[in-house]
Amino acid sequence: MDLVAPVVVEPLRRRRCSECRRGPLERMIVEYGRPVCLDCADLGHLVFLRRGDTALTRRARERSALWAVVVRHNRRRTRYERQGLLVEETALAEAEAACLADTEARARRRARDAERRAVRDAGVTEALRVEILRLFPAMPAARAAEIAAHASAKGSGRVGRTAAGRALDRGAVTAAVHASVRHVDTPYDSLLMRGVPRHRARAQIAPAIEQVLRAWRAPLPGQRDAPGATGATGAEGVPGRTDR
């Protein structure tokens, strides 16, 4: 049978209990459109557990025969948002003890997860760096590494974190290089600071960007005539190069 937990509201305005008339209420339930304090609602013996610790919240809820969800209305978002739970005090104490008992194990697990994420992120950055140099073989190696690291920074939302970037889509990789050239090798930022509209500034620096990209696309000395540098690798034997 599905459980239906009571919903407790943290009111934004001063409210009084419709039964005992006490107030202002810190928390209340709403019955038939009227505010009722926790004592009158038979929830006064519960203690508040603020949201944030997932393991503690889950364990306290599982150990509590009676519990309630605490919400507050967010006017800006026009919705109710969960603040935490009301649980039995003994259940909270047991949950805290259980969490303390496996603190070390959970810390080790978090460290292992963080290490796996770091390895995965490093792999994404390295793959992006290799693809950048494949498309732009004359680019300085340090610059390729810098662009790859910037584009794949965790939580940045940049090209390297997108599905296209992780798939090493040619357009996505080129976009990352294009953005780097725009900010580093042209006066684009200065134009914006002088109040030049973004689209006009981009049009103004477009030739400079193309000049840099054209130079970076050029094959390295000896690469054009390298053994096996023909066929599927490109029209002139340069990996990723096509006729223009």
Give the end-to-end CA distance of the chain in Å, rounded to a whole number.
68
* pLDDT at site 222: 61
Higher pLDDT, 3 or 186: 186
pLDDT at residue 228 tops 60? no
Residue 57 sits at φ, ψ, to 5 deg, of: -60, -45
Segment 19-37, tens digit of pLDDT = 999 989 999 999 999 999 9
* pLDDT at site 74: 93
* pLDDT at site 182: 93
Preceding omega of 24 cis (within 30 degrees of 0): yes
Angle, helices 103-135/89-101, rounded to nearest 10 degrees = 60
Mean pLDDT of the chain, nearest integer: 83
3-state per-residue secondary structure call for 142-183: HHHHHHHHHHCCCCCCCHHHCHHHHCCCHHHHHHHHHHHHHH
Tell me which of 30-39, 131-140, 158-167 is least confident: 158-167
Q: For residues 172 and 166, what is the distance between their CA atoms, to the nearest angstrom?
A: 9
pLDDT at residue 95 tops 80? yes
* pLDDT at site 223: 55
Q: Are strands 79-87 and 47-50 parallel, antiparallel or unpaired?
A: antiparallel
